[in-house]
Amino acid sequence: MKIGFLFPGQGAQNVGMGKDLYEKYSEVREIYKILSESSNFDIAKITFESSEEELSQTKNTQIAILAMSLGILKILENNGIYAEYAAGLSLGEYSALTYGKSINLENVGKLVRKRGEFMQDLLPKGDWAMAAVIGMGDKEVEEICKKVTKGFVVPANFNCPGQVAVSGDREGINELIDIAKEFGAKRVIELKTSGPFHTKKLENASIALKEELEKVEIKIPNCKVIKNIDAKEYSSKDDIKNILANHVINPVRFSDSINYMLENGVDTFVEIGPGKVLTGFVKKINKDVNCININNVESLENAILELVK
């Protein structure tokens, strides 16, 4: 069995996520405590007691998903479960790098809280949105984005064959929906995000994030962590801080990342955090591999039984 850990990004959140894990495991509570202290933010309160609207604010969502993912990860590690490869979708790359001991808990808490604030607050004025285009190829989506004339839309996440997320302004997204249907898209679904993520519109956020990244120690990971930006492993040649700063203004190559892991023998993908989106992408790329989701106590305990052999 060759395991790959997958960590979700923004959009997978829901109020109450991880509460049963938090209540059952002292190790999970300790992760929330460390991240809350380092980010000066009560993660448990916003995750378990807020409204969907409040939790879905980028500055809140990112740190909340990080805490849940790293809490689950701690229990897996305590049970001797490790992965040879790790990857995350956008925000999830920070969880993957933390798993690889590239960033410590205190620093990742500070960084992710700041990242969320910058991505929310340092945007040009506008009515921004993201949507998933279903049933079209990557190149086709790139081409229909170029046909939009009334607004701004570009590909943001290449998720899996037949699904590409696009970022832009409301006018551009609305026009794209009509164009996509005309050119054969099955559906276009608006996503639970609040900005033109992974586009040049986040240039100011990228610059501010780079300044924060320069304040902390980031090492080459001790396992194979796949970069969103080019779907390759981090290596000693990489400037990780520069890559993470550029990450927010470049598209996510998630589909290519999964293909890279498959080509290198990964046969068991474990999604760690809220939702089941990432393993859904994996199944669309290769329906024969083993996929495990861990997002509550029951699924965690079942995963431990399956993976500890």
Q: For residue 33, how many other CB atoms are within 10 A of its CB?
A: 13
198 is catalytic: yes
Beta bridge partners of 188: 133
For this structure, is 90 an active site residue? yes
Annotated catalytic residue: which of 90, 167, 194, 206? 90
Tokens for 27?
């190790």
Annotated active-site residue in 198, 206, 247, 255: 198
Which amino acids are annotated catalytic? 90, 198
